[in-house]
């Protein structure tokens, strides 16, 4: 999260994003029009890409001697969503798919639009950021739209509760490690969308309210689609849209 610095060139950034978007658009359309066993293989390949971003990021920080418990654990929501998304793509578990969809579109999307990135193209961290944020969003869309595994009824409540529980874990980790993952202990120095939610600590209160509202907005297209087709929420095909 943040703003473009002088180190970031707009063209390489958005060109890289565009290449990934076009690639996934082909995958998503193909999965919907020609479903088959190949789509599960494609999902597993996406899982390896997401996991690869985590591995490369860790190796880079260890190599640069910048890895630390206070800043490098995958506790920030975007980083943890990479792991959740990888698991969702590999096992296609409904709850993991729902978390990937809600966390990816509600969290990683704003990180993509307002990047916290201060390295130039073609630095490896540049690609980590672009691939990590873009692919988690597109992976969520691939799972939900391409594979027709939309969020189930009740997913907003379930995912909101899991989000709050995860936030509690991060708060405890921040206290124990003297860290500031997810900006629970103090506001970020750079500009982020959190400033639109109020000063610290009030943006935490706003966040508690925004979580279920943003999930509800993301769920609404599926609710309307099921309502228009008369699909029963208790049907075994309730998550297929």
pLDDT recorded at residue 191: 66
Does residue 29 fall inside a structural domain? yes
Check: CB of residue 82 under 8 Å from CB of residue 54.
yes
Q: Mean pLDDT in runs of 10 for the chain (241 residues)?
A: 49 91 97 96 98 96 95 94 98 98 91 78 89 96 97 97 98 97 85 77 92 97 87 47 50
Does residue 192 fall inside a structural domain? yes
Count of domains in the chain?
Answer: 1
Does residue 238 fall inside a structural domain? no
- Tell me the whole-structure pTM to 2 decimals: 0.90
Measured over the CA atoms of residue 231, residue 234, residue 237 and residue 241, the dihedral's sign is positive
Kindly report whether the peptide bond that precedes residue 40 is cis, defined as omega within 30 degrees of 0: no
Question: Whole-angstrom Cα distance, residue 75 to residue 5?
Answer: 24
Q: How many CB atoms lie within 10 A of CB 61?
A: 15
Does residue 4 fall inside a structural domain? no
Does residue 239 fall inside a structural domain? no
Does residue 22 fall inside a structural domain? yes
- Domain extent at residue 130: 10-229
Does residue 37 fall inside a structural domain? yes
pLDDT recorded at residue 148: 95
């Amino acid at each position: 999260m943040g703003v473009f610095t002088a180190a970031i060139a707009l063209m390489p950034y958005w060109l890289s994003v565009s290449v990934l978007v076009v690639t996934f658009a082909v995958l998503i359309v193909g999965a919907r029009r020609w479903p088959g066993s190949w789509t599960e293989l494609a999902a597993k390949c996406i899982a390896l890409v997401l996991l690869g971003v985590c591995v490369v990021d860790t190796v880079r920080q260890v190599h640069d001697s910048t890895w630390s418990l206070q800043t490098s654990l995958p506790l920030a929501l975007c980083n943890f969503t990479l792991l959740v998304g990888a698991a969702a793509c590999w096992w296609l578990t409904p709850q993991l798919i729902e978390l990937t969809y809600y966390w990816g579109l509600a969290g990683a999307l704003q990180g993509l639009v307002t990047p916290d990135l201060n390295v130039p193209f073609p630095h490896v961290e540049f690609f980590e950021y672009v691939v990590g944020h873009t692919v988690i969003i597109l992976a969520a869309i691939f799972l939900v739209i391409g594979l027709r595994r939309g969020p189930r009824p009740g997913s907003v409540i379930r995912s909101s509760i899991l989000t709050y529980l995860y936030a509690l874990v991060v708060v405890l980790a921040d206290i124990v490690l003297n860290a500031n993952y997810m900006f629970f202990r103090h506001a970020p120095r750079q500009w982020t969308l959190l400033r639109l939610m109020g000063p610290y600590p009030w943006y935490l209160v706003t966040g508690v309210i925004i979580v279920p509202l943003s999930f509800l907005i993301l769920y609404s297209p599926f609710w309307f689609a099921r309502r228009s087709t008369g699909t029963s929420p208790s049907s075994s095909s309730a998550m297929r849209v």
